[in-house]
Structure formats: structure tokens, C-alpha cells
Amino acid sequence: MFHAIRTPGRMRDQLKDMQTRLREIAAAFLERPDALFFIGWEMTPDEKETRPFFARNPRQAQRLVWNDLCHPNPASYLPRLRDREGMIGVAVKGCDARALRELIRANQIERKNLFVLGIPCTGLVDPNTGAIASRCAECQYPVDFDYDETLGPMETPALTVERSAPDLDAMSLQQRRAFWKQELDKCIRCDACRKICYGCYCPECIFEMSDPKWATNRGDLADKIFYHAVRAYHLAGRCVGCDECARACPMGVRLDLLNRSLRDHAKEMFSFDGAGITDEKPLLRTFSTEDPDPFFGGDE
């Protein structure tokens, strides 16, 4: 059952075939004696969206779906499952595969404990607008990732989608400051953005520590800005652009824009464009005397 608003009929049939194969592959995997579960997607009870689903036996594999609403990133569950004994199956589309690649590189999960099914994605639909999700325009697949199986050639869909407004780079500093103040003030510090993020796998986040205490608990605008600024820097060069934070946020904070500017700046200033795609070292783990330093007035 699809609610693909923009996906044309011919492609819908193709998606349906892929879903059938996904179920077959997951069911076969779950027959293995060492299989724990297979993480993919199922329809939500109202059938309007999908949500992550942990299939635990071949019969449950029939609940798995693949369609253009499969936004959740199944790879983000892996760090907390790292100590489980047995094999975990996981379905990944492009952005999920980038996250998975980074997790393996950061030793958050071992490749040998995973069964990875790659799904060539043709761009997902934003359930609110019915249009192709804006992040899909910038999609890139990791080139040399070793999938156990795939549902077709793992190629970047190369969509031409307009970048979602507003264009922060076109704003003046004052406008931008006002924009972020207004955006971040909506935040209620539920930390869903952090908890859903594949990259926020630190066992003890600095925002949860009481000793030493890095952040106050008052929850005013300064706290919110501090939280988002720190999280942004911790994810610079690691954010793979799956936009799960923005999807999770109950207050509609435009975290997608924050992360996008961070990726843009990493590219502009340090020619870094590698999160989850290449073997380049993570941005914050490299330093070069050639790095531009506009802040201290160095040569840019």
C-alpha cells in the first residue's frame, strides 16, 4: 500500500517488486540460526507513513515495506545494539548507508555482525508536501561499500530538486541571526534530535552529565543556542544529511538547514565533502596549516 504522491505508476510497480524481494531476502536471513532481527520499515497504523520495524522471524518479515516514504534511518539503531550476540540484518538506502559506513569506521559496530541489504533509492517523498524530499537532491551513495545483497545497482539518483527555502547564505548576518534566534527559541530541549541521530552515539552526552556540569538546565534561549551550537560542531564532517533530526523534532525546528550550512561550509572552507562517502578522515580529526582562518583574520 503506497501513498507515493509524486512517484509515477511505472516506478511504483518497480518499488513493489523491490519490496517483494526485500521481504524474501529478510525472511531468508531470519531463517539463519544466528539471526537476531532484521531492521527495516513497516507502515504506520494510519498507513500514511512508515516507521522502523524490527522483524524477528520470517513471518514478521512480511510486514516490511519499501516505498518512497521510508524516511527513518535504520542504521541509527545499531550503536545501542553493539553488544548483542548474533547477526543483525539491516536495510539501508543511500543516506542510511553513509551513516552505516561512518559507524563502522568509528568502531561503533562491527561489519562482521551485520547483514547489509542495499536499496537503490530513487528519492523519497515528503509526506507533508507530497513533493520529493529536498535532501534527496544532494544525495550521494558511498561508492565502495560492501553490501551483502542489493536490490539493484547502488547509484545516486541524481535528482534535480530545488533547495528548500530560505537561502541562509543570501541573508545578511543580522537576518541570519534573527532567523536562528527565532528557530532555536521554538526548541523545547526534548533532545529528540540528538537521540535519533546516528552520530550521537556517545555513551554519556555532555548534556546529560551532572559532574562536571557543562550546560545549565534552565532552558532559556542561551541554553538552547549552546546546545545546538555544540551539537552542530560535534557533527561537522560527520552529519550524513539523513535529516532525521528535523523529522523527529516535534517543534519543527529547521535543523536540516543548520546541518546543511555546516556541510556547505565544510566544503567551501576545507573542501571536505566526505561524510559517509569517501575514506577521507573526519573533518574535525584533521588539521592543516593551509586551513583558512577567517575568524582570526588569517588569509582566506
Partner 1 sequence: MTVIGYMKRSALEGVLGDISDKLEVIAPLPSGDKGAVELRRFEKGAQVSIGPVKPMLPLKTIFLPPVEQIFRFSKSENETTVTASTPITRDRVVFGALGCDIAALALIDEVFLREPVDEAYRERRTRTTIVALACEGQGPECFCASVGIDPVRPGGADVVMIPVKDGFIVETITKKGEQLGTMLQGALRDPTGPQKKTARSFTSTSRSDVDLSAPAGGWSAVWESEAWEDASARCIGCGICTVVCPTCHCFDVHDERHGNGGERFRKWDSCMAVNFTMMAHGENPRPQHRARVRQRYMHKLVYFPENHGAVACVGCGRCAVACPNRTGIGEVADRMREREEDSNE
Distance between CA atoms of residues 204 and 75, nearest Å? 20
187 contact, one of partner 1, ligand SF4, none, CB 5-8 Å limit per kind: ligand SF4
3 state SS for 145-203: CCCCEECCCCCCCCCCCCCCCCCHHHCCHHHHHHHHHHHHHCCCCCCHHHHHCCCCCCC
Beta sheet of 114-118, edge-to-edge order: 50-55, 35-43, 87-92, 114-118, 149-150
In the three-class reduction of DSSP (H, G, I as helix; E, B as strand; rest coil), residue 37 is classed as: strand
Number of H helices, E strands in the chain: 7, 5
Over the window 51 to 90, marking each residue x when it contacts partner 1 by CB under 8 A and - when it does not, the resulting string is xxxx--x-xx-----------x---xx-------------
Strands (DSSP E) contained in 50-113 are 50-55, 87-92
Q: Which stretch binds partner 1 (CB under 8 A): 114-122, 148-156, 192-200, 275-283?
A: 192-200
* Residue 159 buriedness (CB in 10 A; 0-12 / 13-18 / 19+): middle
Per CB under 8 A, the list member of 188, 221, 222, 229 interacting with partner 1 is 188
Per CB under 6 A, the list member of 143, 171, 190, 202 interacting with ligand SF4 is 190
Per CB under 8 A, the list member of 148, 149, 191, 273 interacting with partner 1 is 191
Quick one: 86 or 252, whose CB is closer to partner 1?
A: 252
CB of 146 to partner 1, least distance (A): 26
Q: Which stretch binds ligand SF4 (CB under 6 A): 64-72, 78-86, 97-105, 186-194?
A: 186-194
CB of 294 to partner 1, least distance (A): 32
| Residue 130 lies near partner 1 (rule: CB under 8 A) | no
CB of 196 to partner 1, least distance (A): 5
How many Cβ atoms sit within 10 Å of the Cβ of residue 67?
20
Distance between CA atoms of residues 89 and 114, nearest Å? 6
CB 52 within 8 A of CB 74: yes
51 contact, one of ligand SF4, partner 1, none, CB 5-8 Å limit per kind: partner 1
218 contact, one of partner 1, ligand SF4, none, CB 5-8 Å limit per kind: partner 1
| Residue 253 lies near ligand SF4 (rule: CB under 6 A) | yes
Cross-strand partners of 286: none
CB of 253 to ligand SF4, least distance (A): 4
Distance between CA atoms of residues 59 and 42, nearest Å? 13
Residues in the chain: 300
54 contact, one of partner 1, ligand SF4, none, CB 5-8 Å limit per kind: partner 1
| Residue 189 lies near ligand SF4 (rule: CB under 6 A) | yes
| Residue 218 lies near partner 1 (rule: CB under 8 A) | yes
Distance between CA atoms of residues 48 and 68, nearest Å? 11
Residue numbers at the binding site for ligand SF4 (CB under 6 A)? 187-193, 248-249, 251, 253, 255
Residue numbers at the binding site for partner 1 (CB under 8 A)? 37, 44-46, 49, 51-54, 57, 59-60, 72, 76-77, 186, 188, 190-192, 195-196, 208, 216-219, 244, 247-248, 250-252
